[in-house]
Every structure is written in C-alpha cells, then in structure tokens.
Amino acid sequence: MALQAQTSLPLKDLSFWQNTNKANWQIAGDAQADLAQHGVLTLNPGTGILVNMPDKTNKANLISTTEYGDFDASFDFMMAAESNSGFYLQGRYEIQLMDSWGIKNPGTGDCGGIYKRRKFIPQEYLYEGHAPRVNACLAPGLWQHMEISFQAPRFDAQGNKIANAKVILVKLNGAVLHENVELTGPTGGPISEMEVAKGPIMIQGDHGAVAFRNMQITDLSNLPATMDPVSYQVFYGVFTSPDEFKNKKPDVSGVSEKISWDVSAKAYGFAEILKTSFQIPKAGKHQVEFEIGGKHMVKLNGVEIFKEFNNENNRRHTELVDLPAGKVDLEITVFKKNKSSANKLGFWLKGPEFRSTAYHSFGSFLNSSSDDPILMDANNPTIFRSFMDLYKNGKKNKRVVHAVNVGNPANLHYTYDLDNGSIAQIWKGDFLNTSPMWDSRGDGSSRPRGVVLALPNVPTLSSPENVFSQSDVVSEPFTIKGYEVDKDDNPTFMYEQNGADVTDKIRIVDQKYLDRTLQIKHAKAGQKVRIGLSADIKQVDENTYVLDGKSYYIRAIGASIETQGLSKVLTLPAAEQVHYSILW
C-alpha cells in the first residue's frame, strides 16, 4: 500500500538520466559480486537493475533529468568487493556508498556517511562530514536497502540563503544512521559549489562497481495540510467510558490553535473532547501517527481509526487512511484517571506530497520521553537470558521463551533458541534494549538494537526421514544440556536429540561473520544438519551459497541443495564434526 505519489524508476532504460556519452552505466537483469574479486560485478541480461561498471575511459557520473527540492529517496544497492560510490542529493551533498563490511568504527567515508566538505585555500583539505552512528553495511554482493529524507536549503526573495540544507533521516538496512543533520554547504565532488532550491540527483560513476534496483523518489515540495483552530470541552471526574461524560455539560470549554492535552489544567481525573478540521491538499493515502497518555478514541473523516478503552499508558499508533482533498474532520476523545501514566498527546499527519507534520503544541508532547530506555551494551562478550520476539516481514512471528542472547564487542550478536538448538537471528550494531523486560511490570523480553537477519528458527539437526520439516516443535526427543563458557566468556551449547549428542560452538571471525562448529556423536544413519532453509538458495562458487534473494551467504565444504516443491534446504551430513560460516 503506497503512501505517497512516488516516482518508481522502472530501470528498463536510462531515460530518467542525462546522456553521459560513456558506457559505464547500463541496464541488466541481475548482478553478482565475487567476495574474492575486488571491484567486480558479473551481470545477467535483462532489465530492472541499474549498474555502474567503470573503466579508465568510461567513468561518468549519472545525473537525473529532473530536479528536486525536498524529497525522499529509497533504493536497494549492491557493492562489489572494496568498491566505492556515492548518492548525491541535488548533485551537491554526498551520502557515501562503500564496501564497509566488518569495519567496527565507521567514518565519514564509510557506507552511509555524509562525506566531508572540501576547501582549496591555502591548500586543499577536507573538513566537517558526519560519520554514521553504526556500521550497518552488509557483505559485498548482498542487496542492501537505503532510505534518505532530504530538506533543501531555503532562500529569500533576493536569493540569499536563509536556512541550510538538512538530511532529515538516513536509514541503512533498517538502522538509523543520521537524523536532522544540517549541511553547511556542498560536500566533496559536487556538480557545483553553488547551492540551489532545486537540483538533480547524481550517482557517482568514476570510482567503483555498484548496482541499484527498486529506486523510488518522492517529491515533497508541496505545503502540508492546514488545520483549523481546535475547539475543546473538558469534564472533571473519574470516568470509565465516554458514555459517562459525552452528554454532560463541560466544566471548561474553549478554542486553542493546536491540539493539546493540557487544556484540562489537571494531570488526571478528567475527560476531553477535541474537535477540528484539516484542509487536505491532495486526495490519497495519508499516514496518521498518534500518541497519548489516557484511554482514547480518534475519529478522522467520520471513521474511527484508533480506540483504546482499557489501558492509559499507550505506545504510538500508526495507520494509513484514504483521505479526500478538501475539508476532513478530526475528533479526539480522551479520559484519564491515573496519576502515574504520562501526560502527553501528539498528532502527526503525512500526505502524498508533504512530510509528516506535527499538529500538537510543543508542551503537549514534552512528557513523551519520560520513560528512559534501559539499554545493554556488549563491550565484552556478554550472555543475557530473556524472552525474544522474532519478526518476519515486519510482523511478530513467534516468541522464543528460552532465548540466550550473545553479544560481542565486534558489534555482531546472535540469539540462540535453547528449545531446538538453532540460531534464531543475527544482528549488527548495538546489543539489546531491555526496557520491555524491566519497564514497569515488564513482559520478560528484550529487543535487538541493530540490523537484524532473521534465520529459519527450526531444529538444526533434521530427522532422518524428513529434512524439510520446518516445525520448531521437535517430534524427536530433544533435551537441552545447557552451555559452557570458555575463558573469553563465549558459550558453547550442548543438547541431545534422538540419541545424538551435540556440542554447538558459535564464534565471531574478523568482526564480519559467524563460524559454527557442531560436534555430533551417535547420529542416526542419513541424519543431516540443516544449515540453510529458503525458497531461494543459489551456489555462487565451489563452497559458497547465497540465500533469500541475496540477503546472506553460507560458506561450507561439501554442502548440498535439496529441493521439495518451492522449498529448498542446504544440508551437510551429520558427521562427527560439521563446520560452516554465515556471512552477512
């Protein structure tokens, strides 16, 4: 469901871009990188992939024919090994694209960095620049996803700059790298040092091999929806439902310029009804975000979009709604009896061609961050037990109730599921947010703080009869025997399955990938170790396989791809020692 009037580049040809008169840019059907060959992509014929393959005589930058002011952009990209490129906003401000796989402390020149500015007097030197918060870069040859939100510089009627350009947001593979970064001027290598209200997109073409797909650009030059003054009614007392106050005479009534919870002049023991109207500039999908302390109901354009009458301490809600152009009514009902729950009310609206805009007063949302997150770092090898919720395609898939979260100072961590002897997920970045476990009464869970790779959470050791069984409820006898910790505080797990004794040793190598070694005793004849499970498994060299649409690699000697219908499984025989690596 598309929210905005996006321009999706079909990438069937180069018509979106100015003619370079060079041959480094081309359209392909697919691309692959060899981890051992620097700067090399191999291509398959077809369309849908934009590829740069520079050489000594063909190395032109690619510049769009359309110019943009404020805009959002998103795209997938693939780096060749040790390759380098850049995505220039308005052709002037570079977001670095780089093979930064495994770098622990990324700099301004690493993937997702905002590159430095350049001065030439008295001699050339670089300054400023903004390093990404975290290295979220994947291995060469894997598809990565970047999202950029940009605000153009502002100029007065005489052409004088009155506000700097701003990178509102950069996300790489789901991790936030930058927020609200002001750009004092063009970074190195721009099309011009002169800043403008509108400019083209430029992709660097003179450095290294890179591929793109799924490119989308959203022009956000239009003004946001306007909101009429807000009329409010306040009722004092303790209420359990709107029926108890909606027909009463209000204790306080009036009009405010913006939405605000504090028209009640009380912290609790009140109910409010707030009404206003928006002038929507363009019909289409609109994103509504709403956060409040108190039981509530929200109606937009006569349709109930949020309702919570059971809990006063609520998280932020997000909903996509179809809105017509013109007048649209908003009604918010809230009632609050508890002193302990936060006082806050925030309302944001995002339209097809305007950014998310806050329509609440500043003071109405001051209490939104009253609960400080409880974070856990892994400055040393760290083991932490908790529940762990696993997500698939953005939705909660299951809860691992016997999870062991293993953190590493290399910023590569994993969750081990003690119920079936499997690696449930891997993530890059910071370790854990333990707020769900310790905040208030808690629910016993923690959350990864980084870029997560979800793995098929099924028993690693298959049954001899069915290597394709994806059930995480092991039908064969399964007994976890705990884990031992070595001198470096790294665990080795132990379990027994159907008479086979397994020790499971997982270690981080070169700050880049996981090595896994299983020692297996008394395995049944024909039993196998499932090292990969996906509808999409391809062999890329003698011992390397790429899975899930080029999402990650598995490297193993003697592995086999087995197929059943649309399912594929990558297996190794359940020998006395089984070894493989997960590269991501």
In a domain, 1, yes or no: no
* pTM score, whole prediction: 0.84
**Residue 17 and residue 48 share a domain:** yes
Distance between CA atoms of residues 394 and 137, nearest Å? 20
**Residue 72 and residue 172 share a domain:** yes
In a domain, 524, yes or no: yes
**Would you say residue 7 has pLDDT above 80?**
no
Tokens of 391: 């997500």
**Would you say residue 439 has pLDDT above 90?**
no
| Domain termination residue (choose one: 312, 334, 369) | 369
**Would you say residue 469 has pLDDT above 90?**
no
**Would you say residue 425 has pLDDT above 60?**
yes
Considering only residues 141 and 339, tell me which one the structure prediction assigns the higher pLDDT: 141
Domains: count for the chain = 3
pLDDT of residue 6: 52
**Would you say residue 359 has pLDDT above 80?**
yes
- pLDDT more than 70, % of the chain: 96
Rg (CA), the chain: 27
Write out the DSSP string of 314-370.
Answer: ---EEEEEEE-SEEEEEEEEEEE--SSS---EEEEEEETTEEEEE-B-TGGGGGGG-
**Residue 411 and residue 385 share a domain:** yes
Enter the DSSP assignment of 137. -
Indicate the Cα dihedral angle 528, 533, 538, 541, nearest 10°. Answer: -50
In a domain, 230, yes or no: yes
The residue-averaged pLDDT of 219-247 equals 93
The residue-averaged pLDDT of 289-314 equals 90
The residue-averaged pLDDT of 390-403 equals 87
**Residue 381 and residue 360 share a domain:** no
The residue segments making up the domain with residue 419 are: 375-583
First to last CA, the chain: 29
Distance between CA atoms of residues 285 and 1, nearest Å? 8
**Residue 104 and residue 189 share a domain:** yes
In a domain, 204, yes or no: yes
**Would you say residue 506 has pLDDT above 70?**
yes
| Domain termination residue (choose one: 173, 204, 219) | 219
**Residue 304 and residue 263 share a domain:** yes
**Residue 426 and residue 346 share a domain:** no
What's 268's domain CATH number? 2.60.120.1560
Listed in sequence order, the residues at least 6 apart from 492 whose beta carbon sits closer than 8 Å to its beta carbon are 483, 484, 485, 486, 503, 504, 505
**Residue 254 and residue 110 share a domain:** no
In a domain, 287, yes or no: yes
Q: What is the pLDDT of residues 12-43, one digit of tens each?
A: 999 999 999 999 999 999 999 989 889 999 99
**Residue 558 and residue 457 share a domain:** yes
In a domain, 150, yes or no: yes
* Type of residue numbered 508: I
**Would you say residue 323 has pLDDT above 80?**
yes
| Position 472 confidence tier, pLDDT thresholds 50, 70, 90 | very low
**Residue 192 and residue 314 share a domain:** no
Q: What is the pLDDT of residues 483-504, one digit of tens each?
A: 999 999 999 999 998 789 999 9
| Domain termination residue (choose one: 199, 219, 239) | 219
The residue-averaged pLDDT of 146-153 equals 97
Return the number of other C-beta atoms located less than 10 Å from residue 150's C-beta: 23
Write out the DSSP string of 49-63.
Answer: EEEE---SS----EE
**Residue 545 and residue 511 share a domain:** yes
Q: What is the pLDDT of residues 133-146, one digit of tens each?
A: 999 999 999 999 99
Q: What is the pLDDT of residues 36-80, one digit of tens each?
A: 889 999 999 999 999 999 999 999 999 999 999 999 999 999 999
Distance between CA atoms of residues 256 and 270, nearest Å? 18
In a domain, 547, yes or no: yes
What's 181's domain CATH number? 2.60.120.560
In a domain, 2, yes or no: no
Q: Which of 377-386, 470-479, 533-542, 565-574 has the lowest mean pLDDT?
A: 470-479
**Residue 285 and residue 214 share a domain:** no
Q: Which of 228-232, 375-379, 456-460, 556-560 has the lowest mean pLDDT?
A: 456-460
